Amino acid sequence: MGPVIRWVVLALALWGPALAQEWRLYESRGHTEAGPGPWRYTLSPRTKEAQELWRRLAEQYRDHLRAGYRVDLGAWRVYFRGGVLWLAPHCPGADNPACYTFGALPVEKGRQDRFLLELGRLLQEGLDRARATGGSLTLSRLFRVELPRGAPPPFRASPSGWRP
């Protein structure tokens, strides 16, 4: 590998995470008189541009779900079965754009790929944390799932910000 390629790879490794931070995972915990409450994790877009892209994608995803289709979000799949919204394992090795449901939007495919890959990574991280501590995970505009500590999938979910 030549010196120029090494510098490019190093620059991408160092700057890649900083450039691709369109999502954020909030972690919070309420407190009551009885002591600490359950953990809450919320996954939402960070920038105005990301918020607008997610708003349009989430609208399409909700329409898919209402019509009886599934929505693939990397390692996880959201779908209705028996009138209940479910979140189930889907695609191992979710670093593949083929593991995602893409929106019909006037957005460059590479841009949507990066956006969804980051969403998938943080969704997995949030679910791992929620399963480890017990609590809830909300993906803004799409679903909320309550997870007892160590619960195995699939997870029963509820719509977040919309009605089926």
Radius of gyration, alpha carbons of the chain:
17
Cα separation, 94 vs 1, whole angstroms? 28
Contact residues for 151 (Cβ-Cβ < 8 A; gap 6+): 131
pLDDT digits (tens, 9 = 90+) for 94-132: 678 999 999 999 999 999 999 999 999 999 999 999 999
Please tell me whether the overall predicted TM-score, pTM, comes out greater than 0.75 for this model: yes
Cis peptide before 154 (omega within 30 of 0): yes
- For residue range 112-121, what is the model confidence (pLDDT) as tens digits? 999 999 999 9
Q: Are 115 and 101 in contact (CB under 8 A)?
A: no
pLDDT score of 12: 40
60 pLDDT higher than 80 = yes
Q: Of 17 and 78, which is predicted with more confidence?
A: 78
Mean pLDDT of 46-68: 97
Determine the pLDDT at residue 6: 44
Question: What are 143's strand-pairing partners?
Answer: 139, 159
Q: 67 vs 94, which has greater pLDDT? A: 67
pLDDT of residue 20: 55
Phi, psi of 108 (to 5 degrees): -55, 135
How does pLDDT run across 1-47, given as a tens digit for each residue?
Answer: 454 444 433 344 444 444 459 999 999 998 778 888 889 999 999 99
Instruction: Give me the mean pLDDT over the 37-66 stretch.
Output: 96
